[in-house]
Amino acid sequence: MSSSTELKVGDSAPDFTATALGGAYGTEGERVQKRDFAGRYVVLYFYPKDDTPGCTIQACGLRDRWPDFQGKDAAVFGVSTDPLTSHREFIAKYGLPFPLLSDEEKRMVQDYGVWVEKNYSGQISMGTERSTFVIDPAGNIAAIFRRVNPQEHAAQVLAALGEKA
């Protein structure tokens, strides 16, 4: 179960502060906050773990469609509970053009309701649900994608931004 009330389209997006790795938006190694991007769209895509099959497909899908994102007034961030060292390796290995945020304290995953109970072959554990939130320029949630299919993710986010922008 998630640790907070489930967010809905139209809700105010929870504030966040996290360290960003990756060069886009001049954020390399900087602490970024929701308010830093007021007036533009923000895409927060939450994923379980760096350099795993589904997460790599998802990240590379965004990378491959990155030129399409450039025409949108949107800042894109990947978010996982992995440490900065893992993010740095993941970015370098796959040439990711967007920043990754490290949420080792699990604040963002809890605030966005994506820290959930998972069942793998009868083994129950807590982990990140692959989910994406599009935040509008006013700071409200414009779109939510839960249990994302990594292969369809980039197209879904671009379509949502096309409808909103």
Task: Decide if 38 is inside a domain.
Answer: yes
1 within domain boundaries: no
- Domain span at residue 136? 17-164
Q: 6 in a domain, yes or no?
A: no
Among candidates 148, 146, 125, which has minimal Cα distance to 57?
A: 148
Q: For the chain, what percentages of helix, strand and coil (3-state, to nearest 5) are there?
A: 30, 30, 40
Tens-digit pLDDT profile for residues 134-159: 999 999 999 999 999 999 999 999 99
Q: How confident is the model at residue 2 (pLDDT cuts 50, 70, 90)?
A: very low
Percent of the chain with pLDDT over 90: 81
Q: How far apart are CA 32 and CA 95, in angstroms?
A: 21
2 belongs to a structural domain: no
Q: Is residue 46 part of a domain?
A: yes
Q: Is residue 3 part of a domain?
A: no
What is the domain-level CATH number for residue 132?
Answer: 3.40.30.10
Active site residues: 55
Q: What is the pLDDT of residues 23-44, one digit of tens each?
A: 677 777 888 999 999 999 999 9
Structural domain tally of the chain?
A: 1
For residue 9, tell me if it sits in a domain: no
Residue 120: predicted pLDDT? 81
